[in-house]
Amino acid sequence: MALLMDTRFLLRKVKDLRSLTPKRNRVKEKWAATHPKYPPTSLALQHFDATYSVQLGKMWPSVRVALLSERKYGALLNNFSHDAVLADLQEKGCRDFINDADTEAQPCLEQVSEEESSDVPVKKPDSDGQQLSPPQLSPNIKCVVFPRGDITRFKPARPDTYRLLGYYLLDAASVLPCLALNVQEGHNVLDLCAAPGGKTLALLQTQAIRFLCVNDTSVSRTLRLRKVLQSYVPKEFLTDENIRITSFDGTRWGDIERNSFDRVLVDVPCTTDRHSLTEDDNNIFSKTRTGERRKLPQVQLALLLAGIEATCPGGEIMYSTCTLSQIQNLSVVEQAIHLAREKHGIHLEVVDLQPFTHMFRKTFHFAPDLHLGEMVIPHLAANFGPIYMCKLRRLT
C-alpha cells in the first residue's frame, strides 16, 4: 500500500514538469502573452452565434455543430497522373459524386417572393413550364467522396512514375463553382484569386482551356500555388502559351485586361468560417486583423467588379466564398450588379443554378430560399462547406 501511495505521489510530481527543472532555470510563464483571454476561435464563435442565429434561424444549431466537427474531404482526381487511382478508391467505398449526379429532370417550381421584387435580372432555364433539364457537366472532372455519414479519411496521394500526384484533397463542395462555370473547348479563363490551387486544378482537369491565367495578390501564396501545379501538372503543359501565373492586385485587374476572358472565377478571400472556428493560427478574427476583417466586403466587391470588367461580353463570372455571411455573399453580388451598370455601363444577369444544385442533392445540403446564388451548408451527415456561389452572365 505504501508503495502504491509513493507511486501516485511520484506521478503527480512528474506531471508538473517544472519540478524536474532546476530552480535557477525556471521561467515564470507570462499567461497574458501566451494565452489570450479571448482566442480568435472564441471571438469567431461569438460573432457567428450573434449573426447566423438570426440569418439561419432554426438551422443554425445543426450547422454550428457541423462547423465545429471534423470536416469531410473529397479527392479531386488528377487526369495528368498515370496511376489508376479511381479503381483503388472505389474499392475502399468511395464514389465519384459528379458521375453519380442525379440527371433526372427537375420539376419546374414557381418562384415568387424576393426574385420578383428585386431589380436584379435572373436568367431562368428555358422550359415549357413543367420540367427543367439538367445542365451538361465536364466529363473530365472527377471527385470522389466516401458515403454519407462515413468519416473515413483519405490517405495522402502518392506520386506516379513521373512524380505527379494522383489526387488532390479538398472540400468536395469547392469543386461545384468550377463545374458550374461550364468551361468549354477553347475558352480563355481567369482565376482571379487562385491560391492555394484546388480550384485551379479542377479547372485544368476539364482539358478544354486554351489559355489559363491564375493570379493571387499574395506572393507567398502564389509560390505555394506554383508548387501545387508542379506536383500535379506536367512541365510541358506549364508553358507561357498555356498558363500565366501572376501576383497582381486583383482589385485592379480591370486596368490590366478588359473584355479578355470567356470565363472568370472570383473565389474571394472571406472569413473562412470553418477555419475561423477551429484554428487560431492565421485567423481573420485575431485582434491584430480586425481592420482587415472589416474591409472584407469592400475588397470582395472590388474583386468581383474587376472580374466582371475582365470578362468579354457574353462571358460568365462565378463568384464564390467559403462563408455563410449574407454581407459577404448576396450583398456583394447585388452591389456589384448595380455598380457595374451605373459606373461601367455593363449589364449582367444572374444565371439560375437550381437545376445544377438539384443534381447533387444526394451529396450536399443546400440552403433553401436564396434569391441570389446557391450555398452548400455543413451537415453532420455530409460535412462539406460552407460554399456560396453565384453565376453572372455579362450581357454588354
pLDDT tens, the chain, 396 aa long: 554 455 555 445 545 555 566 666 666 655 555 666 789 999 999 999 999 999 999 999 999 999 999 999 999 999 999 888 999 999 999 999 999 888 765 655 544 433 444 567 776 555 455 556 678 889 999 999 999 989 899 999 999 999 999 999 999 999 999 999 999 999 999 999 999 999 999 999 999 999 999 999 999 999 999 999 999 999 999 999 999 999 999 999 988 899 999 999 999 999 999 999 999 999 999 999 999 999 999 999 999 999 999 999 999 999 999 999 999 999 999 999 999 999 999 999 999 999 999 999 999 999 998 999 999 999 999 999 999 999 999 999
Indicate the CATH number for domain 53-72+172-394.
3.40.50.150
- Asked whether residue 197 is marked as a ligand-binding residue, the answer is yes
Maximum CA pair distance of the chain? 88
Looking at residue 215, what is its pLDDT? 97
The answer to whether 313 and 341 have CB atoms below 8 angstroms apart is no
User: Which residue is associated with the grid cell 446557391?
Assistant: 374
Classify 245 as helix, strand or coil: strand
- Asked whether residue 216 is marked as a ligand-binding residue, the answer is yes
**Active site residue ranges:** 322
Residue 62: its H or E element: helix 60-68
CA distance 164 to 2: 62
- Asked whether residue 373 is marked as a ligand-binding residue, the answer is no
- Asked whether residue 196 is marked as a ligand-binding residue, the answer is yes
Residue 226: its H or E element: helix 219-232
Q: Is the dihedral of CA 269, 274, 277, 281 positive or negative?
A: negative
Q: Which residues pair with 213 in a beta bridge?
A: 190, 244
The answer to whether 208 and 179 have CB atoms below 8 angstroms apart is no
- Asked whether residue 267 is marked as a ligand-binding residue, the answer is yes
Looking at residue 289, what is its pLDDT? 95
Q: Distance between terminal CA atoms of the chain?
A: 88
For the beta sheet containing 74-77, the strands, ordered from the edge strand earlier in sequence to the opposite edge, are 95-96, 143-145, 74-77, 167-170
Looking at residue 102, what is its pLDDT? 80
Which cell numbers in the block locate residue 71?
Answer: 470536416
Residue 2: its H or E element: helix 2-15
- Asked whether residue 191 is marked as a ligand-binding residue, the answer is no
- Asked whether residue 36 is marked as a ligand-binding residue, the answer is no
Q: Report the alpha-carbon angle 241-247-248, nearest 5.
A: 100
Domain assignments of the chain as residue spans, ordered by start: 53-72+172-394
Looking at residue 83, what is its pLDDT? 86
In sequence order, what E strands does the chain have?
74-77, 95-96, 106-107, 122-123, 131-132, 143-145, 167-170, 187-191, 209-215, 243-246, 261-267, 311-321, 348-351, 374-376, 387-394
**Cβ burial, residue 19 (10 Å; 0-12/13-18/19+):** exposed
- Asked whether residue 193 is marked as a ligand-binding residue, the answer is yes
Q: Report the alpha-carbon angle 338-173-385, nearest 5.
A: 80
- Asked whether residue 198 is marked as a ligand-binding residue, the answer is yes
- Asked whether residue 157 is marked as a ligand-binding residue, the answer is no
